[in-house]
Amino acid sequence: MSYHKRFFTFFLLLVGLFCVAGNSYVYLGADTTKKLFYASNNEIYSPDKNDLLYFQKGNIFYSGATEDRSNIFLLSSSMDFNSNDLEALYEKDNRYPTYSFSENKLYLGKTESSEFKARNELVHVQRAKKWLAFYSTYNDSLIGFYAADSLPSSAAIIVAYTLARKLNLENKIKAKQNILPFDDAPFATIKPIIGNQTVNEWIWDGKLLRPRWNIDQRLVWTFDGQTAKPLYGNNVYDQYTWDGENFKPSWRSDNSKEWSWDGSQIKPVWGNDPANVYVIESGVVRPSTGGHPEKEWRMEGNIPVPVLILILSGTARPY
């Protein structure tokens, strides 16, 4: 299975994400050796399929295999995870909703304001052609995935809830809320100003560069301050060295792959096309001559120059 968010391209969908039936495993993180559940229609089983952990009937999730009041686990105002309305999710014996959800997102608490949603979003779900991925919103990391194209909506609710609880996302998002703006940004992003932003958006977390909406681990790059290379694979010809001014292949001589940085401009060593000479101004990475909007990028946060070169040169590919 892929790492984080190209074997399949992700699209954020507001409709059609879930179906009424489905049978497959739910995995923890991006690791296919770590099974969280086996989902079968409206039933959630242990990874070995032997024990029925939860099942849904009406607007109630029961634990175990018996529809009994003592086995009520969660109550929900709706079983439509994609509901346009903010739906309430109650834990057993609680008078007030602990969580809420709408439009494929799980929130802490329940308040209708847009400010609340921005501050309290815990989990969001996205779809690929054959996968459903669950992401932690506070740092946009992949926390689980369902190995089929459509998961029953009721099952998606219990999976999102379980991941939020298991990974203690409530405390993590509260800790993030106590950080001053820009004091400790968890990641940076860059995407083209025009064109297909969904496919071509990248995320940098200080160690890894990856397409933001694609979980294929073969597209992920690492950079440690000196060496840039794919996260997976051992082809030495895919490794690049950075000395603070020059970016070039580590184990071969190829001028067409070399770039430089003089403190103000990023440009290839080989060739004289002014459209490939980039500057960074007010969060925009663009050709220094202007007139090429199709080559302009919007950057949020700080991304090291050699990581930018991976993107600008096309060395790092989003699919």
Q: What is the average pLDDT value for the chain, to the nearest integer? A: 84
**How many percent of the chain have pLDDT more than 70?**
86
Q: Which of the four pLDDT bands, split at 50, 70 and 90, describes residue 73?
A: very high
CA distance 42 to 66: 14
**99: phi then psi, degrees, rounded to nearest 5:** -135, 170
CA distance 9 to 21: 23
Tokens read off for 241: 């060295």
* Amino acid 14: pLDDT: 31
Q: Which of the four pLDDT bands, split at 50, 70 and 90, describes residue 184?
A: very low
Decide if pLDDT at 201 tops 60.
yes
CA distance 61 to 79: 10
Q: Which of the four pLDDT bands, split at 50, 70 and 90, describes residue 9?
A: very low
Decide if pLDDT at 269 tops 80.
yes
User: For 123-139, what is the mean pLDDT?
Assistant: 82
Q: Which of 97, 92, 170, 111 shows the shortest CA–CA distance to 138?
A: 170
Q: Which helix (H) or strand (E) holds 169?
A: helix 169-177
User: For 110-126, what is the mean pLDDT?
Assistant: 78
Angle of helix 153-166 relative to helix 169-177, nearest 10 degrees, comes to: 70
* Amino acid 79: pLDDT: 94
CA angle, 259 then 263 then 265, to 5°: 55
Exposure of 238 by Cβ count < 10 A (0-12 exposed, 13-18 middle, 19+ buried)?
Answer: middle
SS3 state of residue 146 = strand
* Amino acid 115: pLDDT: 64
* Amino acid 207: pLDDT: 87
**How many percent of the chain have pLDDT more than 90?**
50
Which one is predicted more confidently, 123 or 168? 123
Q: Which of the four pLDDT bands, split at 50, 70 and 90, describes residue 196?
A: confident
CA 121 from chain center: how many Å?
14
Q: Quick one: the chain helix, strand, coil %, rounded to 5? A: 20, 35, 45
Q: Which of the four pLDDT bands, split at 50, 70 and 90, describes residue 96?
A: confident
